[in-house]
Structure 1
């Protein structure tokens, strides 16, 4: 299975976050290294834009010997489709570069589930029960190609799989749910507060931490912060 990591530097809320040092390592490198521990991934490619603002991502990938591909800045669906075609992949796993605690065991679970069915999209986000930052989607390349031809809304092009979710009558969607409701827990990095929280979790538990351990720590740290604020 091919994994494609979506990465850009022009984040609105936390610019440059994917190359920021997180517990001693650039966040993009952390995502790559955690994915590389998944047993059922055969290739990992960083898909960034061809805009000069993302040249530093390509420089970092070359320095770390990470494969990368470049495409449109805003039409991310086209960027993913072109990357999948060049890799000759019938399907690909989509991961965002702001997910430094992505769990390789969870990735393997979703890959195994996808292999048992005939879904166009296998996902754990249609009904969110996993923490943000543990989002895993496997997309059939042919399904994305079909959807891309029909996309009229630029938001669909930017968010890659949004069109498929909005048209469940046209595409076979298989959702993977957690046994407990963790959907409100934030393990992705969208703000400086998220960045600091993930850095604290890594300092407490190290890089081998599972998604469930990370979710438990984030909950515990949030409760501690609330008590400190009240005190």
Structure 2
């Protein structure tokens, strides 16, 4: 079975508590993400993977409000957290979601599930123009799919903290060892290198909060085209991209 595992914690260095800060109508980004996912997927297939730190008790409470399953594990070893969460809930493949992406498109998730399950793959993502998966961008729009088998292989192959923190990095940087499929992004995603919709800083938060109010009910394509035609917002996003490498 393929499950959706959401990575979230309150102890962010750059923007503490970003998961629960009021983002839209007093709701935090994690709660908004749960609302979005549970309209499309059974809660049986959704797991919040957070940490054993007591400050993350609040995230557990939010998940429970939506009847979403939870797993608590290492704060630093995110790879181990994903492996143990998937193992506990019998997920053979995982849709990995970083909760700090309030504009996450969920329409593509079914495509990723189909690709990884039917073709017996280890990793599926959309591909950037530079050939890298979209997790290496600031877009904040798309997920990635990965097999539990591949994650277990990574944990046995390396103990470097880089790969424990960035769960799938080892897989797509060692393509000779894994069955990887990088799909072409939708046509409307051309020329989007200056779009930043991931949420890491207070500057991101303020910009995306205003944008969310305007675009909440719009499609991702409409959102992207709006941003392409808004030079003021693009310049602000470009400035944040220059400050934070991926």
Q: Give the TM-score, by structure 1 length.
A: 0.87
Supply the distance in 2 between the matched residues of 1:49 and 1:81 (Cα, whole angstroms). 14
Equivalent residue of 1:174, what SS?
strand
Distance 1:16 1:57 in 2: 10
Deviations 1:189-216 (A, max 9, x none): 111222122222221122x332222223
Q: Secondary structure at the match of 1:11?
A: coil
Match of 1:31 in 2: 33
Q: State the TM-score, normalizing by the size of structure 2.
A: 0.82
Q: Give the 3-state SS of the residue equivalent to 2:108 in structure 1.
A: helix
Moved more, 188-197 or 58-67: 58-67
Q: Give matches, 1:56-135, under 5 Å.
A: 56-124=58-126, 126-128=132-134, 132-135=139-142
Aligned pairs (5 A) from 1:140-219: 140-178=147-185, 179=187, 180-206=190-216, 208-219=217-228
What is the CA–CA distance in structure 2 between the aligned matches of 1:40 and 1:182, rounded to whole Å?
32
Deviation at 1:224, TM superposition (A): 6.0
Contact 2:116 / 2:122 at 8 angstroms: preserved in 1? no
Deviates more, 1:74-83 or 1:10-19: 10-19
1:155 CA drift (Å): 1.1
Q: Is the 8 A contact 2:92 2:147 kept in 1?
A: yes
Number of residue pairs the alignment of both structures matches:
226
CA distance in 1, matches of 2:161, 2:115: 31
5+ residue gaps in structure 2? 237-246
What is the RMSD computed on CA atoms of the aligned residues? Answer: 2.4
Residue 164 and residue 42 in structure 1: after superposition, are their counterparts in 2 closer, same or farther (change >3 A)?
A: same
Distance 1:42 1:53, change over 3 A: closer
CA displacement 1:3-44 (0-9 Å, x = unmatched) = 000001111111110111111121101112222344698611
Using the TM superposition, give the Cα deviation of residue 54 of structure 1 relative to its aligned residue in structure 2, in angstroms. Answer: 1.7
How much has 1:59 moved relative to structure 2?
2.4
130 and 113 in structure 1: CA distance in 2 versus 1, 3 angstrom threshold: farther
Deviations 1:95-150 (A, max 9, x none): 00101111121222222332342210111253449862113111111111111111
Residues 2 and 19 (structure 1), Cα distance of their counterparts in 2 relative to 1, 3 Å cut:
same
